[in-house]
Structure 1
Amino acid sequence: MSGHQEYSFFGAVEQSFDKAARFTNWDPGILEQIKQCNSVYRMHFPVKIGDKIEVIKAYRVQHSHHKTPCKGGIRFATTVNLDEVMALAALMTYKCAIVNVPFGGAKGGITIDPKKYTPYELEKITRRYTHELIKKNFIGPGTDVPAPDYGTGEREMAWILDTYLSMNPGEVDALGCVTGKPVAQGGVRGRREATGLGVFFGIREVCNMDDIMKKLGLSTGIEGKTVVVQGLGNVGYHAAKYFREGGAKVIAISEFEGAITNPDGLNEEEVFQHRKKTGSILNFPGATNITNSSDALELDCEILIPAALENVINGDNAPRVKAKIIGEAANGPLTPEADEVFASKGVLVVPDMYLNAGGVTVSYFEWLKNLSHVRYGRLEKRFTENQNKNILNQIEGLTGKKVNDREKTMIEHGPDEVDLVYSGLEETMISATREIMEIWQKNPSIPDMRTAAYVVAINKVATSYAELGIFP
């Protein structure tokens, strides 16, 4: 285990960047600029907790301003440190570039354990953090737009929004200062499941590529594939759900207290309810317990989805991983050493920086909704329904045949907000997957899909810089 203390997450991101930069023709100066974090804001502020005053440590990093606003989540965890926030901010830049979301990357974090505070205390901390961001112009619909991340959710985003609104009265686009809000506060339907659904769309597209599947010795399509999911948080839960609904078999789920496995497949909602009731996923009816949760990563399966924290697969355990496809639903679950192992074993690693971009893609849709001040589907839903009804009536009249009620409802249905959000996300993930694969096929000396994804990202960010004329 020695040597793991020195691991730098930002260093690993830089390493992946350098590996990919060799396959591009940009000026070394431009590459250096893209690599650096443009603005780093580290703060300490006092908050009264009970009858004591606690000094809270927090961060906001804006990695790139090649497009504004900057965008990135806010994490509440004891592990939050500058290195992690910088790395996640950099990944956000590349992620947005790959999926064509016009934002620069940012990330924020507060070094606390949210479980140790009451909701009222968390609210005080969140609002004070927002004040600090406002003071330095590190938040706003056109400058920097936070979102939920590990340890935060809709509730915290509502507090951030309210604080921002009270400090900026009359700002017409103020709702766009943060995303991942409750729907009643200007949030968008489909945001909660967006990351997990995006992971599913991305892996499904890879599984539909004949040549890739042939290389891996797998059948084309998602159906019947065995899947292991690590983490039953928001992302893991929804990934498991969509894989199961898509016809794959989720044969194991792991959490920090241990893992469970069942070769006939698990239902994530039943496991979730069992954990809620008993406080653990272990002893789930019909499943076998695995005491050491990291052993689940080494189970025999076709698709492995690490959806928890960074660094879970490294040089030590990578040789024992049996999956043919690894879908990085979490940020940075593999170390660069693990990448080397998988490349030599011919395992396909579908990289985090685009695979978990569902969250930021739907956040972008939410931001657009806030700027346009109208709900998706409000204008066209009835129009589409009436049009579909007319077409259907014409066809029924011409053919003398009737369509049954269930199919009639399906054909006539006009898009709701959530339908449009899912459709936009599906389009985003499919085209990003194809773009990365195309670059990779054009240049077979690129060692893996992560490097190909970085090449796509670097090209797009560098092009932005060049077109802005930032470099004489």
Structure 2
Amino acid sequence: MGAENSENDTFFESVQRNFDKAAKLTRFDHGILEQIKACNSILRVRFPVKIGNDIEVIEAYRVQHSHHKLPCKGGIRFSLEVNQEEVMALASLMTYKCAIVNVPFGGAKGGIKINSRKYTDFELENITRRYTSELVKKNFIGPGIDVPAPDYGTSAREMSWIMDTYTSLNPNDIDAEACVTGKPVSQGGVRGRAEATGLGVFFGVREACSFQEDMEKIGLTAGIAGKRIIVQGLGNVGYHAAKYFQAAGAKLVGLIEYDGAIYDENGLDVDLVQAHRKTTGSILNFPGAINISDPAEGLEQPCDILIPAALESVIHKDNADRIQAKIVGEAANGPLTADADEILNKKGVLVIPDIYLNAGGVTVSYFEWLKNLSHVRYGRLEKRFSENMYKELIDIIESTTGKRVSDLERKTILRGPDEIDLVHSGLEDTMIGSYREIRDIYTGREDVENLRTAAFLCAIEKIGVAYEELGIFP
């Protein structure tokens, strides 16, 4: 980040600044860059819904940032913080994320300006269905047009309401299931979607830690095992990321929630902490851990890897100097302000940017969309075939060597891939390949100062080429 960046930048302005910084290093014409940067379509609607005995007017948005690939893709959030600028920022990030992980979608985002906790399930269903009908009327949803997904404040339940509403309004659309992703498995969802973003964070950080020369520069050894990790946010993303890091041999020394943080240099078990939280209503007072009343102080504790997986702008100019982590993995959208990014870069901290690291969700959403269009479950066509082939291979080995493979080895080898195996494998391959593309740009060009600029460059290059090949620019 340059000196022109301001701590007072909005989230949208911060995204635009990051884009502009990378755009200066590209070969593309100013017009193409402006087209890539611009939000193509913005829908702002107000609609009435009966809440109890009253009529309430609900404000909602859907932004389609880019049409260089169709359909557009992006989540829908329920929050009182929803406004047009925030939705535009998140939609543009979706465009860049999809390009980085080679998912052929344009970016989009949606939001309904409500506090979902103040409504009953029945009222939330009415609001969601009414919003969906507005999207259908304006042609802002469809398997080949725009495909929403869950985001903050929404889940598989809301996605099933959206799909049902869309299907009822388009009864002849054979691909109607593909109008939205993040659905329950029984409604056409894909196995592995719930943990996708957190697992993608793990795969991305693990890949970054696999390059010995990069780790030596920041004073760490290669690999995940033994590294001390702090995770901020025990929502869906943070919990799954923590769980996978723990399973890989990392030491989870700190966990941070809105009401405080806990720290234990000997390591924490995320499932035990979750159980304690369920019983007491808080992660605080976990046996053996130190309580930290101010959640912000939890970010400043000693660790090797810090994973902010909750809110925007939690690391800023006033606390960035006190961050002790050698690696910051942005599991949330925009957890670092522009000034914090600059401070950490000067300190030599390796910041793995959000537009790459939290793209696991959209990657697996892409797999779900493909599953819905093909009308067949992953693994159905190959699981039994693979198992039969492996059995023949074992029979040949046994007859050739005269030795019998043990029952445990036989069971392990004979297992054909289920849907979740294929989804996890596809996600792993995507995160590994995409990180290497970004790293090649970062290490191969002297004018690229960090991974964030490299990631934006990677995205701009792919989108720019797509626009050139569309032939719309003479």
- Please give the range of the TM-score, normalised by the shorter of the 2 chains: over 0.9
CA contact (8 A) 2:7 2:337 kept: no
Residues of 2 paired with 1:325 and 1:171: CA distance?
47
Instruction: Give the superposition deviation at 1:244.
Output: 0.2
Cross-structure match for 1:107:
109
Instruction: Give the superposition deviation at 1:118.
Output: 1.1
Cross-structure match for 2:124:
122
- Unpaired runs of 5+ in structure 2? none
Cross-structure match for 1:194:
196
Residues of 1 paired with 2:118 and 2:408: CA distance?
50
Cross-structure match for 2:80:
78
Residues of 1 paired with 2:156 and 2:106: CA distance?
22
Secondary structure of 1:101's partner?
coil
Match of 1:209 among 189, 211, 214: 211
Cross-structure match for 1:31:
33
**Residue 466 of structure 2 aligns to which amino acid in structure 1?**
S
**Residue 24 of structure 2 aligns to which amino acid in structure 1?**
R
Cross-structure match for 2:97:
95
Instruction: Give the superposition deviation at 1:160.
Output: 0.4
Match of 2:45 among 43, 57, 65: 43
Residues of 2 paired with 1:254 and 1:18: CA distance?
33
Determine whether 1:170 maps to 2:172.
yes
Residues of 2 paired with 1:5 and 1:54: CA distance?
36
**Residue 251 of structure 2 aligns to which amino acid in structure 1?**
K
Cross-structure match for 2:246:
244
Q: CA RMSD in A?
A: 1.2
Q: How many residues end up aligned between the 2 structures?
A: 470
Determine whether 1:420 maps to 2:422.
yes
**Residue 261 of structure 2 aligns to which amino acid in structure 1?**
A
Cross-structure match for 1:392:
394
Instruction: Give the superposition deviation at 1:162.
Output: 0.6
Residues of 1 paired with 2:351 and 2:407: CA distance?
44
Cross-structure match for 1:442:
444
Secondary structure of 2:299's partner?
helix
**Residue 15 of structure 1 aligns to which amino acid in structure 2?**
R
Mean Cα displacement is larger for which, 18-27 or 182-191? Answer: 18-27
The equivalences for 1:309-458 within 5 A come to 309-458=311-460
What's the TM-score, normalizing by structure 1? 0.98
Secondary structure of 1:162's partner?
helix
What's the TM-score, normalizing by structure 2? 0.98
Partner deviation per Cα, 1:160-201 (whole Å, 9 max, x = no partner) = 001001100021000000000000000000000000000000
Residues of 2 paired with 1:4 and 1:125: CA distance?
37
Residues of 1 paired with 2:247 and 2:239: CA distance?
12
The percent identity for this pair of structures is 66
Cross-structure match for 1:282:
284
**Residue 10 of structure 2 aligns to which amino acid in structure 1?**
S
Residues of 1 paired with 2:117 and 2:398: CA distance?
60
**Residue 381 of structure 1 aligns to which amino acid in structure 2?**
K
**Residue 135 of structure 2 aligns to which amino acid in structure 1?**
L
Instruction: Give the superposition deviation at 1:445.
Output: 2.2
Residues of 2 paired with 1:346 and 1:403: CA distance?
51
**Residue 242 of structure 2 aligns to which amino acid in structure 1?**
A
- Unpaired runs of 5+ in structure 1? none
Partner deviation per Cα, 1:83-102 (whole Å, 9 max, x = no partner) = 11111000000000000000
Q: 1:214 to 1:6 in 2, by over 3 A?
A: closer
Partner deviation per Cα, 1:338-378 (whole Å, 9 max, x = no partner) = 11111111100000001100000000000000000000000
Cross-structure match for 1:298:
300
Residues of 1 paired with 2:410 and 2:199: CA distance?
27
Partner deviation per Cα, 1:280-312 (whole Å, 9 max, x = no partner) = 111122222110011111111000000001111
Cross-structure match for 1:131:
133
